[in-house]
Chain A
């Protein structure tokens, strides 16, 4: 079983977290912090398995991680999982993200954590490996996104326009252009 999947950057900022066992928010943050401290001090040319991590797991659990550019992908698993298998799974996860985002980078995960979750949900379900075939995963994702697009239809157009405007970073200026407050005289008028 997989107990948790964490993605954080080189500074320990969480980019995606999925816990298959309940921890409250404070505990989740502590686990991310502890895991980051354990993983970040390791060189890139050492092995990808790590024992310890007092908060999550115990002796039966292992941290299996991969470091890609600015991101760490960490899986916390028990002894029923194959270590090398999980390493492959991380690779599949990252490659699928890469296909979905076209050259995935940290920014994609920052702004589209929800999309990354959707990818993950096709890979792992409730802590168990669901699908490891990338073509299958991509196919499932595409079909779901198609459904979403169909739903949006015409009504999505204005929203897309607004988001395009926002992306130009005009929003702040627009927000600053506040509508004038209603004149005091009108406010005081009682009907």
Chain B
């Protein structure tokens, strides 16, 4: 036993200290983790020793390992032990470990309260100072509450070092324990005029932090600060004070007027760039807050802009950056003054420094005009091509789209150009995220700018063809989503439509991961086929019709077993619908499946015979499909209009809506009978009223009609498809009929808004407002708009060139903003009225 003890003591002398640990880690680069694991075990043994020196050594090593990313929270108790040592050396080690690893929610923090109190009241100022520094990193609510008084006492200590630290510490106390602010405030105010400049500076620092979040409570201190500003020579403090005034002036314009003169003097006199820059910033804040009526206002703006120009032209990149940053602040209130320095900003776009280019980009939106937009965008496109780093690229793309789309596309004269830019951006194949943004723009321009639709459809057709020809990149995969929609929705040119059917179906078959556009492509192909069929039918071109249906059916066939569920579902729907048409046009065609999966051949024949019978009975000529194509086209009729962002929230509650009422079968069936009368006008109406009395339906026919309705619904993107289709096959579920035939009076869904657009488009309030713009834009695009409006959209009222806003429920104002939900901010609790 004795021998063992001797051995233990001897080895203790050679315990690894921090230096050994660091050296060991450096010597074990190849198996660092293993070496550190071994050291951790040693440390754990050391921590079990009674000797405080050994423990402190272990804790010092733990602190180092913490920096390397090792969790040392398990040693919290040992750290507290070392903190409580009487020796300053060990205390220092303990408090350092605590400040690095403890946090407000650490367990066992309550064990430290009395120890810290003892340290705060220690004779030696450095022990108290050490405790304050450490505490500032991990103070919790409980510690703040229990120690607030001790810290407040230190604020009046005779030693400036402690006063300074205690003042700063109080801010941390306020954050955790807001109740301390009111009693401590008079003392804090007193410290603003402390004889020691360090204490003064600390007090200014704390008040600035407090006032930044709740400026109005500190307006009464303005005279004190004003005096400090005019007397102090400490640049650090001056910067803080001037920053504080920047926060106060928006609340008190008179203060701003008083400030302008001393600040202007400082701008002229100071040699410290940091101070000069903050002065300019605060002058800008003053200029923003007060109206232009003040004498010398224009001169002040000029002075700022000129000083900033000097900064931007400086060879020091830091000054250049800050100059641009401050320019962006002036830009908001005095765009004209900044625009005079357009050359400077544009030059900065080519700077080698990314931070500076980003800043210049931020200024660009104020620099563009109708004249130079194209040129600037061209420049940005070049940057886009050679940009490295996603951050800059992301910023470029968003800025480019921002400057083009700002103020409802105010600066875009030629939308064909803009669509082309979007297409080119797509071709760069940057990232899926960019694809999403571009897709959003394509849809928006399509929806808002009627004049460019034909062109956009052509461009989109090109995008689809390209994606079909070679595997699409990440951006195209996203853009296809919008391209397919725009193409199918707005295309009016027969040739473009005809050439797009196959590419769209090919796109729907593109593999390589999930692509949300695929299902849309299937739907778009069906939409185009329907449109084409209606054109051909009008002209009586049966061969052309047969060829397009055949092509579509052939394209759909591989999709019938697609691995993507939605693609498969839509392909089945489209296939069944087109098969129906095919059977009507050419019952024995090769492209028809031998037996349809959805329809029994005999039944469909039965229906055809009946419908044909109807025609013979004098229904009038309906083309070669017997009205089938017309009904197919009806599925896609009507224009989709943008909905205002808050429309959903503003839908008024219908007075007769009683959510507590039981939904009984009786009520619903009575509703459904009344609704059938208004079915004709609805956009996505239930099947048109049948000339035959309902009683004549055989069960098979009923089945048939249900099937057709189901098809229609499935292909209609505006129906919610959460009901499984199978449920319709069960006769005893009445809900199926409700969904089909009752136009809901509660318009709580976006899709419902769209449904109503055709009927309510006359009521749209937005159109009037933008009519002025429409005139100017029309002039540019007359030829196109004519061709388009002649193309069969005449039913709908004429649309503005760039439709603003969106649809809102009747009587709702578009502007009322809702305050953002308050963030979880400790400063909210510090919003106290301190004028007592």
Contacts and interface: CB of A to CB of B under 8 A. Distances in A.
Contact of B67 (A16, A20, A121, A147): A16
A58 to B, nearest CB: 11
A111 B613 CA distance: 98
Interface residues of A, number: 65
B198 A45 contact: no
A10 interface: no
B168 A147 contact: no
B93 A114 contact: yes
A108 B687 CA distance: 84
A45 B274 contact: no
Given A114-B93, A125-B168, A83 B322 contact: yes
B19 A111 contact: yes
Nearest to A13: B68
Contacts of A147: 88, 124, 126
Contacts of A48: 317-318
B165 A22 contact: no
A166 interface: yes
Given A114-B18, A163-B19, A129 B236 contact: yes
Given A130-B164, A151-B87, A25 B14 contact: no
A91 to B, nearest CB: 12
A148 B88 contact: yes
Interface string A79-90: 010111101100
A46 B89 contact: no
A49 B124 contact: no
B61 to A, nearest CB: 10
A128 B96 CA distance: 17
Given A17-B67, A111-B19, A174-B14, A82 B209 contact: no
Interface in B1-21: 3-4, 7, 10, 13-14, 17-20
Contact of B136 (A87, A117, A125): A125
Nearest to B86: A151
B68 A52 contact: no
B570 interface: no
Contacts of B171: 126, 128
Contacts of B278: 82
Contact of B277 (A84, A117, A133, A143): A84
Q: Place the interface of chain B in its size category.
A: 35 or more
Contacts of A143: 126
A47 B277 contact: no
A126 B3 contact: no
Contact of B22 (A22, A25, A52, A111): A111
A82 B277 contact: yes
A184 interface: no
Contact of A85 (B18, B104, B274): B274
B339 interface: no
A121 B100 CA distance: 12
Interface of A: 1, 14, 16-18, 20, 22, 24-26, 28-29, 41-43, 45-52, 80, 82-85, 87-88, 110-111, 113-114, 117-118, 121, 125-133, 136, 140, 143-144, 147-148, 151-152, 158, 162-163, 166-167, 171, 174-175, 179, 182, 186
17 contacts: A1-B209, A20-B137, A24-B71, A29-B69, A45-B352, A47-B320, A48-B317, A84-B277, A84-B322, A118-B96, A125-B136, A126-B168, A130-B202, A151-B88, A163-B19, A166-B17, A166-B20
Given A26-B69, A46-B355, A114-B64, 17 more contacts: A18-B100, A46-B317, A50-B355, A80-B209, A80-B243, A82-B278, A83-B318, A84-B274, A84-B277, A113-B63, A113-B67, A118-B96, A130-B164, A130-B202, A163-B17, A163-B19, A166-B19
